[in-house]
Amino acid sequence: MSGIKASGTKTLMLFGGRAYPELAIEVAEQLGVGLIPTKVFNFANGEIYVRFEESVRGSDAFVLQSHATPINEWIMEQLIMVDALKRASAKRITVVMPFYGYARQDKKHRGREPISARLIADLFKTAGADRLMAVDLHTAQIQGFFDGPVDHLWALPILARYVQTKYDSSNMTVVSPDAGRVRVADLWADKLGTPLAIIHKRRDPKEANQVRVHEVVGAVEGRTCLLVDDMIDTAGTITQAADALLASGAADVLVTATHAVLSGPAVDRLKNSQVREVVVTNTLPIPDEHRFDKLTTLSIAPLIARAIREVFEDGSVTSLFEGNA
């Protein structure tokens, strides 16, 4: 048996999908368990087949899959894994998604739009999930989309510890790249004991639908500015914010984010920017061609493993962050 037994009655079993096996292996090593052998393949038409090669009856099952590219395939694979566990009589199923796919579609901006983040939660509930676990959700309201416990893990302590070790925070200002990230930036400022600044984006009145004017609100002149965000996708927002800070007299700019999506032009934009360092976690796989000298990747596996252990032992996931966030 590859799982952990507790009190002679419960067994922790960890399952990893194909999206990011390296992270699943790292989490398994942190827990001191082996991943449950799983047969997974695609039929000729793209349909996914899943079969677990050990009995899962009565187990406390944790299904880890980060929603990387191609995101729809990996979400579907995780849903099928959950369904297979439910039908094989797993006692409790926790879906572990370090990066929650479709999280940015958390509300309707206009009529006739979906709320896709809610749909994802509904799909996992229908498949048989009892609990969700994710790292740095795009918005906290997503926790209310799932009818069951949601463990919202924070990467801030891991990222902040690195920043505090490498840089002098006495001359640092934490910066939110837009109004939507102010709450997260405020937590960072409290953690580091620094001032807070905000990049206010305004539309150019001469050019419709174009963000051209970036106003810096806060003290940044002569200071090291730490731009904080939950994810870097195409890196347009973050690199424009860095340019605005330097134009306002910032001495240096650092960037930190939990999820390195790095789509399209992101790598070239970051490589060619004046940003000193980009610090991210490994919630998503970063292929070799997306790595560059200024990129630092910190492991999220110890945090996920600790959270899984707390859930398995009916402990408190919240206790992981007390005094650390």
pLDDT at position 9: 74
One domain, residues 186 and 287: yes
Say what the pTM is: 0.93
pLDDT at position 319: 77
For the chain, give the mean pLDDT: 93
Q: Residue 146 maps to which CATH number?
A: 3.40.50.2020
**Nearest to residue 63, comparing CAs of 41, 80, 40, 43?**
80
The residue with tokens 């009190």 is: 7
One domain, residues 148 and 177: no
One domain, residues 74 and 45: yes
pLDDT at position 231: 96
* 131-135 and 277-281 beta bridge pairing: unpaired
Looking at residue 93, its amino acid is: I
**Is 325 part of a structural domain of the chain?**
no
One domain, residues 41 and 119: yes
**Tally of domains within the chain:** 2
The residue with tokens 């424009």 is: 240
**Is 324 part of a structural domain of the chain?**
no
What proportion of the chain, given as a percentage, has pLDDT over 90? Answer: 86
Q: Would you call 201 a catalytic residue per the annotation?
A: yes
Q: Which of 10, 125, 201, 271 is catalytic?
A: 201
**Is 197 part of a structural domain of the chain?**
yes
One domain, residues 194 and 98: no
CA distance 100 to 85: 20
One domain, residues 164 and 208: yes
pLDDT at position 322: 59
Domain that holds residue 14: 4-154+301-319
**Is 182 part of a structural domain of the chain?**
yes
Quick check: bond before 157 cis, omega within 30? no
One domain, residues 138 and 219: no
pLDDT at position 73: 98
Q: Which residues of the chain have pLDDT under 50?
A: 1, 208-209, 211, 323-325
CA distance 92 to 290: 37
